């Protein structure tokens, strides 16, 4: 083992000297070289970026994996697979697991029974919801979490390393400044001492020799200061270039945010679609066994969650949905139409009654609205066919 004692001792001496300089600066006993204001602003901006990136990353991980225990296990598993350079297997979501339990329970109770068939229906849609959630988590991890984590574990580590080097160069520069200042003070003090040339020639020789040594010390200190200043300036430029790259990081994270929001919107649209389909299937099952009263007792959860407007005091909700087609027809004939637009159908949709329009995926229809209309619905036209259509099934085209 090559163990260089001199190098170790030299490194320890440099570390000690820097520590003394840093302590004296904190105590106000030594001057400190101030960084360029632009560089200071870049450092402050970089620290702010790092701190908020960490917070956003942690909270997004909590959003995607709410259970702290599962989250910790997922991070450990991800770390292990990353070190082994293997692809991380897909994790079963809670909704998928619930759906599988329901399907297993239906086998026990009998899929031909009302309860068993309902378990099958709900279980299948729970698995679809879980699959959509898993896809959302994977997409978010790839397009949002990974770039943020790469910045913290890659770019920020490089920036931190260069900033530490810059701080060391600054301490070395201030040490050289202090050393030069002391050398000049000693030289000036020696020059002001009494001249013993006439009375004591030997002392004069000693004084001249000491003056020469002090002059050499000043020259040496000036040379070290120039070298330290050059190294400091070079390191400050390297650090500045890295810190200015934070602007590119912001642009990259902005694109990642857009991808994350798009993945989130797709996920919620899928959930909305699946829940509409599930409600329709449950209504069909209820009608098939002659329990139509359940439809009145269990209204459409989407319509209930997004009412067209709050009821004013003293008013009551309609007694039944049978009056909706008449009201809709009245609105179509009496209220003016606001701007028409083309829309692309995202999913198939079967009309629930004569006031609605059935849709086929990928077809183009004309849509419009009228004042006072429920914001979750639009009027659609396909040739001579007209009817109400849900907004979540459409992609409005400009």
Cα gap 380→366, rounded to integer Å: 6
The DSSP line for 35-74 is: PPHHHHHHHHHHHHHHHHHHHHHHHHHHHHS--HHHHHHH
Most confident of 17-26, 80-89, 145-154: 145-154
pTM above 0.85, yes or no: no
Under the banding of pLDDT at 50, 70 and 90, the label for residue 255 is: very high
Query: First vs last Cα of the chain: how many Å apart?
Result: 72
> CA–CA separation, 241 vs 234, rounded Å?
11
Give the model confidence (pLDDT) of 292-330 as tens digits.
444 434 444 445 444 444 444 444 444 444 444 433 333
**1 has pLDDT over 90:** no
Note the pLDDT tens digit of each residue in 162-187. Answer: 999 999 999 999 888 888 888 888 87
Q: Which residue has the higher pLDDT, 178 or 206?
A: 178
Mean residue pLDDT across the chain: 78
How distant is the alpha carbon of residue 228 from its chain centre? 40
Q: Which of 10-14, 88-92, 228-232 has the lowest mean pLDDT?
A: 10-14
Nearest to 65 by CA among 102, 92, 28, 104: 92
Q: What's the rounded Cα separation, in Å, for the pair 291 and 282?
A: 11
């Amino acid at each position: 083992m090559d163990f260089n004692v001199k190098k170790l001792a030299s490194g320890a001496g440099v570390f000690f000297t820097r520590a003394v300089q840093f302590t004296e600066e904190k105590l106000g006993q030594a001057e400190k070289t101030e960084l360029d204001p632009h560089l200071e602003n870049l450092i402050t901006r970089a620290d702010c970026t790092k701190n908020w990136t960490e917070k956003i990353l942690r909270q997004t991980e909590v959003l995607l994996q709410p259970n702290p225990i599962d989250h910790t296990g997922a991070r450990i598993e991800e770390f292990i697979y990353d070190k082994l350079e293997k692809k991380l297997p897909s994790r079963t979501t809670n909704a998928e697991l619930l759906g599988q339990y329901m399907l297993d329970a239906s086998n026990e109770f009998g899929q031909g029974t009302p309860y068993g068939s309902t378990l099958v229906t709900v279980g299948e849609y729970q698995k679809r919801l879980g699959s959509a959630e898993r896809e959302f988590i994977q997409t978010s991890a790839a397009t949002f979490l990974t770039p943020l984590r790469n910045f913290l574990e890659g770019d920020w580590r490089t920036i931190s390393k260069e900033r530490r080097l810059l701080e060391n160069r600054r301490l070395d520069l201030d040490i050289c400044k202090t050393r030069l200042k002391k050398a000049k003070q000693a030289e000036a003090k020696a020059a002001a001492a009494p001249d013993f040339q006439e009375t004591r020639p030997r002392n004069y020789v000693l004084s001249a020799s000491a003056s020469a040594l002090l002059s050499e010390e000043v020259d040496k200190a000036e040379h070290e200061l120039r070298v330290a200043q050059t190294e400091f300036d070079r390191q400050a430029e390297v650090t500045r270039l890295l810190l200015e790259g934070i602007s590119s990081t912001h642009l990259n994270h902005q694109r990642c945010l857009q991808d994350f929001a798009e993945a989130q919107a797709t996920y919620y649209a899928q959930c909305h679609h699946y829940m509409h389909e599930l409600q329709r299937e449950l209504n069909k099952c209820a009608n098939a066994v002659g329990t139509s009263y359940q439809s009145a007792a269990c209204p459409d959860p989407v319509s209930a969650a997004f009412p067209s407007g709050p009821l004013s005091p003293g008013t009551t909700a309609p007694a039944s949905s049978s009056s909706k087609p008449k009201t809709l027809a009245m609105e179509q004939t009496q209220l003016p139409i606001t701007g028409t637009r083309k829309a692309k159908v995202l999913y198939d949709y079967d009309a629930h009654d004569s006031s609605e329009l059935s849709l086929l995926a990928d077809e183009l229809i004309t849509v419009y609205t009228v004042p006072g209309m429920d914001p979750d619905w639009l009027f659609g036209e396909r040739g001579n066919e007209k009817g109400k259509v849900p907004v979540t099934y459409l992609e409005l085209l400009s």
